Structure 1
Amino acid sequence: MRIRTRLLVVVFGVWLAAAAGFGLLTWNLHNQKAAADLQQVKDFADGINTLVERELDKRVVLARALASSRAVRDGDLARFHEEAAVATRASDSWALLVEPASLRANTLAPFDPTPIPRTRPRPLAQTGPAIVFVPKGPVSMKPVVTVTVPVPGMEPQRYNVGVAFEPSSIQKLLKAENTPASTLTSVVDDEQVIMARSRDPERWVGESASTTFKKRMLEGGFGFAESTTLDGMPSLTYLTRPNAYGWSVVVAIPRAQMAAAAWAASAKAMGASGVLLLMLLASALYGARAISAAVERLSAAAVNLGNNEVPERLQSGVKEFDDVAAALHAAGVKAHESTALLERRVDEAVRAEAEAQAKLLQGQKLELVGRLTAGVAHDFNNLLQTITTAHQVLNLRVTGEREQKMLSAAARATSKAADLVKQMMMLGRAQALEPTLVHVADAVLKGHDLTSKAVGAGVALTAAIAPGLPPVFVDAAQFDMALLNLVFNARDAMPAGGRIHVSARLAQPDEVADLRAGDYLCLEVADDGTGMSRETMARALEPFFTTKPVGSGTGLGLAQVHAFALQSGGNIKLSSEPGQGTRVTLLLPVAAQATHAPADRSPLAPPALSHPELKVLMVEDDALVASVVASALRGAGHDVQVCHSADQAVEALLTDKPFDVLFSDVVMPGSMNGVELVGWARTHRPDLAAIVATGYADNVDALSVPVIRKPYDVDTLQRALAEAAAQRA
């Protein structure tokens, strides 16, 4: 393949990539503009609908004010006509006194006791206002919209008081507002009759909407949808929700306008890519011409050298080519001196060149590996060092306990990030673990702040830890990271929110049949997210395999959990179905000394209490903490009732059910916090012992009740409950 052809191939490859980038960028910008235009149309339509509702509100208020006139209830129609004429004199509306089939007063004309037949007879309004459109009023002889209200205190209703106005009042609202360019705006009443229109209102006001559009409105098809306007224009129409009087606003965007915008965006992308192609082709042709000329001259020099002629010294302007030409010239000179010497030196040159090339390639490889390794370590360490230093500086300046706790959590997260970098660099090698006794319930409680903040507000995080579980003998940091990875994976599988449930129990024999003999603890993290297909599950444990978008995941989460489980002597199992969620089961061996310990010496067993069984009212709004702590206390023999707010706790304390201890969190939603709840209990239930738990509150020191600080372990809590109950007794 010729040099020119190769350059053209490179040019077209670069151009295709750039053209695709131009197209994607332009299309994305077009979509963003289209979305902004649609939002503008939506905001405009909703605003017009609100203005229409206000216009109707003004007529309803005026009608109700006139209906309260004493003249109506006394039947003094002349006096009502006079009062109504004064009230409507400065407005674009007029007042009516209506019966089901006739008008008894109309301020458009002088008072006449003779009834005027109604163009559209209908029953009187009995409770709320009623709005009626008449194509031709009996007095104005123009289209009229009438708002009628019942006369308060009149039983039965003999009259309704109405305020009438022309649809042109609604039309003025459309003219006063800046209608989005090229759109068509219409206002329709509750009977799908057009009351105002931004184009040709004289023709369409009073006309009924199309059958298709009526069906859409009756079926609640609000928002954007494809349709065709009454004058035959294909459009994307936005229909607002009906206002308080059942009126809606419709804004139609011509499809031709949207298509033109898309074509314009495509034309810009094609134009930019065309200019780029021309520039690349020009550069490639220029370079190809210079290179081809130099190569041809080198080729001629090589032919001369093959014919035992001395090639001339070339000056092409390209250093590499000139160096080769000089070498050819020197070789030609020496060839004339001695054929033998030339052959020997050619052999030496070839051998030296081969050795130099090999050394160069080896050096380049070592340099590349060194740069990659040093670059990754340097960059990540710089980032983590900056974050750590910032935490240290902030820790010196921040004095609030809550803020310090948040900084401590952030520092722990930074440390875990450093461990993750180390895992990424060392994945696949056997890591030296530092095992210790880990109690699952305490680990879940202590990591609660980090996990609950990480999963976000749209995800419910709960736990069910079986009471009296023995500890596992594993690396504590790796265990925390594995639990976090499982929770984060579950969160990422639920973009629209959902529920994550963490549970722990002793494994059944059939679950660990393929593992080494012994007792195992089963830790499960389940979600109701998108789930995985069989193909995805088959590769889910592979390092760096991920289904997340680029930049959203590394594919190391499950790989770390898998490696941790295997190195700890356990295993991991996956269970998932598309659309049915995922369950990850982590099997870890129970610590050997815990396996043979007596049942009453379990880490979660209660201490020796003067009141071994207590009736505890636990007030905790966090579902995860409530489920873990309540389960552990019930397993220790206590009777626990959980309330999620102080208001629920007050209701429970007002019943006849006896309680020994009130255990409450400090910060909670509702009308009272934990401190205020304890104060209330001291007044209404003085026989009740109380303790509070907090992570950062400062006002609990003023209370004469025990305070335990979060995160706490279950043993500490049980001792506090026992001591509080004993002191109160």
Structure 2
Amino acid sequence: MNIRTRLLVLVLALWLPAVLGLSLLARFTYLKEITAAQEQVQHLSDTLVLAVEREVDKRAVMARTLAASFAVRDGDLQRFHQEAAQATRDGESWAFLVDRTLQLANTLRPYDPAAPVPRVPAAPFITGDPELFFTPRGPVLQKPVLALFAPESNVHPARYNIGVSFFPSTIQAVVDAVQLPEGSVAAVIDRDQIVIARSRNAEKWVGLQATGDLKRRAQAGQTGFAQSVTLDGVPSLTYLTKPNRFHTSVVIALPQAALTAAARRLTLQAFAVSGVLLAIGLGLAWYASRGISGPLLALRRSALQLGEEDVPPRLRTGLSEADEVSVALHEAGGRIREATRTLEQRVAEAVQQAQEAQSRLLTAQKHEALGRLTGGIAHDFNNLLQTISTAHHVLDRVVAEGPQRRVLDAAMRATSKAADLIRQMQAFGRSPPLHARPVRLDDVVLKSQELTSKAVGERIELSASIAPDLPALFVDPTQLELALLNLVFNARDAMPDGGKVLIEGRLARSDETASLGEGSFVCLEVTDNGPGMDADTLGKAFEPYFTTKPIGSGSGIGLSQVLAFARQSGGQARLRSSLGSGTCASLYLPTSDLAVDTADQAPASQPLSRTLRILMVEDDLLVATVVKPALEALGHHVTLCKTADDAVLALSADQPFDVLFTDVVMPGTMTGIDLVDWCGVHRPTLPSVVASGYTTQRASRPLQVLRKPYGVSELLNALEQAIKHASDRTGKQAA
């Protein structure tokens, strides 16, 4: 066999596996692209169906709220019309009320009890969970509308349905906001397979019913991918989601033409590359066959490779001598490469170890310096605070009740907070022990209300959302309060022109605490709608003494204290933020199965055996958003008024209440004490509880005073005592 033939056989032997490999690669790439497209479509579908559910749920919340209105319960439809018009004043939705045959009120037109409108015959009358209904012609606007129906609350059987209507364009906007794959089409259908939004030609197809396999699959409850034909006749691979809580589903169709185009493209690429490889191989074989010095040239190339510290291949030239030399060159190259790799690895490891040692040394030196600095500062400040605290205790014996008492109390609390801050500064140099015990999160939020509300000022709206029935936290309550104050103050400083700060408490999800070990955790979050942080600032936010505030406006230890407290408590602290979207600080803290220590609270009474109707008068948003949900979670009915004037209107309307709970100082023409005196004349049997840090005003009737700051358990005890005293007083008068 001559050299030319051998080279030709070699080229073919190399080319055929390459062709096979390219074919397999093209097939694998095609399947991968198909899988990626399906995953993208499935992700988009699931995201879109959740977005639609959230949009509809806004109307469901509004409908359930209106369904719980006292006006509906009392049959006062004109008052319901006024409340509904106020709730839907944004113009995106409108509300109405229907019975089983007629539409009795609609915020789109003035209330007229003499001119009810017949309701849509196909619309359901709901007695259970809220439901979404589509009609191509609404009874008032004569246009396609969506309506969310909810039954009248606490009345069985329900007499009315309360509906919140909106245009399909609201759902259409959600669909239009999704970036779909090229050529694909998305649609939202209801339980009757009616199209209520579509990404293409929406004005043509909205209101029509899906057909063919898609309709059959939706009716049978089948989800996932299947072959089908779209409404405009395009064969597609269609993904159908599971219906959400409002029985709406999302359909995304990926055209078959796009999938087959990818297969053709990959096949042509594989053939093109195979042809190029064959042409190159034949050209090389023809070139090498021109001489008889192929083996020698191959050995020369091997020697050059060895000189470049590369491992030359083992040659099979047909000449035994050349093959033996090739083997020797290959083995030498392998030994040289291995030695070079070992040397490089050891050098890299040595450099890395030196860098790590230097970093640890610098960190240790920094912490040592911080420890010495904070220790010295803490020593001097503690001496000053001791003098200030002693002076406060001396004044405490001689200052009587009045405005001066409130100033003194605030100064004493501020002194205590300053001592807590000094202890946190010492934590950077050492790890002081925490005094953990079971505490209630809503109690901590309420007891820090005076400091937080005054610190954020009037430009910032401070509110809270504490989930009911949260388990007790097992933490140091003083350090928890300090951490909460630090987070609120940071949120305040991020919004010098005003904004909103929300304190949230909820059970942490398992995926959030997977790295924290076993046990349950509560997530405490402080969220603001400020300017947010960029990635570089977010990465440094927890570093001690790092701050973006001007000199003199912040020390940079607040978030470091929060992180140290969370980790020492067995939890974690995290930040989420981006420019333009605000900041959310999350604390994950362990819970406790032990009862909350009530040794420092008023003696507890036996729990109430009935549900209370409480009239709560409180203008502070933070207090209202904590106390009202906490009382409602215990089964009580709470009516909230922001001023005593509003409370007088509610009481004058003869609404039934079991107890009055009011703050003292509030906007309006009356104080809380004035309201209690008014009740002494007009509602003399109504028990009263007054919450105040101080008061010099006297009421004309006995009242229960709850000192601020207070906890939820203390409030319940005060309410019970007030009701008991009022009952005893009424019994004596009857006797």
Task: Give the TM-score of the pair, scaled to structure 2.
Answer: 0.45
Task: Give the TM-score of the pair, scaled to structure 1.
Answer: 0.45
